C-alpha cells in the first residue's frame, strides 16, 4: 500500500453515501465528481489501486485510517460500508467482481438523485432475495441484462424470506449454530443418489435440496445451474429462493436432516459425510470443542451418536 507517513488531507467536499452503498462505489463516485481517474483519486485519499479494487472485501487498518481522515467519516462508518462484518461466516456467499443482482426500484431512485453509478452492498450478497433498503424483490443481473427470477418457487417465498433473515443475522448466532447453518447450505446443494422416480421426471443428477423442497430438480433440469468454486453459495435468484426456503425448513423440522442424509448412498453418502465433517471441523479446529458442541446440540448429537462409527475414520480433519 502506498501510504505516506503523512496522512491525507480531508477532501474539500464529501458526497453523501446512499443507504447500503458499498465503499468502492462511494469512492469511485468521488473520482467521477472531481473529474479524475480512480488511480489518481486513490493516491489523493491515501490508498493504492489494488487496495481500492478489493476494498469491499478486505479493508486494512491503514486504509480505514487514511479514508476516515480523507473522507471525513469515522473508521467504523468506513468499515460498515464493506462486507467485513459478514466476511468471517458468509465469505462463500459474497460475489466477487460485478454485482450478481440489483434492485430496480433503488436504481430508479439513484437515477433521479443524479447518482446513477451507485452500487449497493446487498447486490453482491448471495443470501439476499429482497432489497434491505426498500423491500423490493431483487432481480438477476446477467451480462448487463436485468430480469426477475422465475416464479417457480413462489409458493415458498415466505419461508425463503425466513432463511434470508437467518443468514442476515448470522453473526448474532452462537458459533456452533452458525457453523451448522452454513454447513446445511452446502449439504443442500450436493448431488443426491438417483431414485426410481428420476427417470420418468427426466432427472439426470438430482440435488439434496429436492428432498426438502420437492420439485426443485424439475426446475433445475430445465435451467441447470453450475456451482462456482470460489463462491459456491452465490446461486441464481430462482435457485436461491428454493435454497433459502430449504434452509428455513431444516431449521424448523430437524427430521428433514435425516431425509437429506438418506437421499445419499454410496459415493454421494461419502461426499455428504466428508463435506459435513470438513465444514464443522473448519469452524471448530479443535476436536474437543467439536465434541462439546456436538453433545450440547440435540439436533446434531442425535445424528452423531447414531453414526459415531462412521465419523471415526475421518478423524484427520479434526486433528489439524
Could you list the residues that contact Zn ion (CB under 5 A)?
Answer: 103, 105-106, 131, 133-134, 136
How is residue 230 written as a grid cell?
Answer: 470460489
CA–CA separation, 261 vs 273, rounded Å? 9
CA–CA separation, 177 vs 172, rounded Å? 10
> Which is nearer to Zn ion, 136 or 315 (by Cβ)?
136
CA–CA separation, 102 vs 106, rounded Å? 8
> Which is nearer to Zn ion, 14 or 133 (by Cβ)?
133
Tell me the three state secondary structure of residue 67. helix
282-291 burial by CB neighbour count: b if 16+ within 10 A, else e? Answer: ebbeeeeebe
CA–CA separation, 222 vs 202, rounded Å? 10
Nearest-approach distance from CB 116 to Zn ion, in angstroms: 15
Please compute, for residue 158, the number of CA atoms within 13 A of its CA located in the half-sphere on the CB side: 1
Nearest-approach distance from CB 237 to Zn ion, in angstroms: 14
> Which is nearer to Zn ion, 135 or 313 (by Cβ)?
135
Nearest-approach distance from CB 123 to Zn ion, in angstroms: 10
> Which is nearer to Zn ion, 92 or 132 (by Cβ)?
132
How is residue 73 written as a grid cell?
Answer: 467519516
Nearest-approach distance from CB 3 to Zn ion, in angstroms: 35
Please tell me the total number of residues recorded for the chain in this structure.
320
Name the helix (H) or strand (E) containing 145: strand 145-147
> Which is nearer to Zn ion, 128 or 284 (by Cβ)?
128
> Which is nearer to Zn ion, 10 or 19 (by Cβ)?
19
Nearest-approach distance from CB 20 to Zn ion, in angstroms: 8
Nearest-approach distance from CB 24 to Zn ion, in angstroms: 19
Beta strands in the chain (DSSP E): 101-102, 139-142, 145-147
Nearest-approach distance from CB 16 to Zn ion, in angstroms: 17
With CA atoms as reference, report the closest residue to 263 among 307, 299, 211. 211
Task: State the Cα torsion 165-137-86-278 to the nearest 10°.
Answer: 70
Residues of the chain by 3-state class (helix, strand, coil), percent to 5: 55, 5, 40
> Which is nearer to Zn ion, 18 or 47 (by Cβ)?
18
> Which is nearer to Zn ion, 26 or 219 (by Cβ)?
26
| Contact present, 154 and 145 (Cβ < 8 Å) | no
Nearest-approach distance from CB 120 to Zn ion, in angstroms: 8
Amino acid at each position: 500500500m502506498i501510504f505516506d507517513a503523512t496522512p491525507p488531507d480531508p477532501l474539500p467536499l464529501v458526497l453523501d453515501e446512499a443507504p447500503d452503498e458499498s465503499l468502492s462505489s462511494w469512492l469511485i463516485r468521488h473520482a467521477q465528481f472531481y473529474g479524475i481517474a480512480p488511480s489518481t483519486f486513490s493516491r489523493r485519499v491515501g490508498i493504492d489501486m489494488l487496495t481500492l479494487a478489493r476494498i469491499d472485501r478486505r479493508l486494512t487498518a491503514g486504509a480505514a485510517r487514511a479514508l476516515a481522515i480523507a473522507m471525513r467519516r469515522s473508521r467504523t462508518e468506513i468499515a460498515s460500508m464493506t462486507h467485513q462484518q459478514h466476511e468471517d461466516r458468509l465469505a462463500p456467499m459474497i460475489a466477487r467482481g460485478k454485482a450478481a443482482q440489483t434492485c430496480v426500484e433503488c436504481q430508479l431512485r439513484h437515477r433521479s438523485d443524479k447518482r446513477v453509478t451507485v452500487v449497493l452492498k446487498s447486490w453482491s450478497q448471495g443470501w439476499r432475495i429482497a432489497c434491505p433498503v426498500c423491500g423490493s424483490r431483487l432481480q438477476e443481473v446477467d451480462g448487463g441484462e436485468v430480469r426477475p427470477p422465475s416464479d417457480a418457487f413462489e409458493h415458498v417465498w415466505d419461508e425463503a424470506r425466513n432463511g434470508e433473515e437467518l443468514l442476515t443475522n448470522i453473526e448474532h448466532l452462537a458459533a456452533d449454530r452458525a457453523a451448522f447453518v452454513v454447513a446445511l447450505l452446502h449439504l443442500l446443494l450436493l448431488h443426491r443418489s438417483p431414485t426410481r422416480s428420476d427417470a420418468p421426471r427426466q432427472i439426470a443428477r438430482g440435488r439434496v435440496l429436492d428432498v426438502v423442497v420437492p420439485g426443485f430438480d424439475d426446475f433445475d433440469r430445465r435451467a441447470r445451474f453450475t456451482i462456482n468454486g470460489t463462491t459456491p453459495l452465490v446461486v441464481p435468484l430462482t435457485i436461491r429462493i428454493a435454497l433459502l426456503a430449504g434452509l428455513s425448513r431444516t431449521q424448523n423440522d430437524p427430521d428433514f436432516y435425516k431425509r437429506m442424509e438418506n437421499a445419499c448412498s454410496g459415493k454421494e453418502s461419502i461426499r455428504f459425510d466428508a463435506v459435513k465433517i470438513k465444514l464443522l471441523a473448519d469452524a471448530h479446529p479443535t476436536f474437543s470443542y467439536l465434541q462439546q458442541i456436538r453433545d450440547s446440540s440435540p439436533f446434531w448429537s442425535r445424528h452423531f451418536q447414531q453414526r459415531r462409527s462412521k465419523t471415526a475414520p475421518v478423524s484427520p480433519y479434526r486433528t489439524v
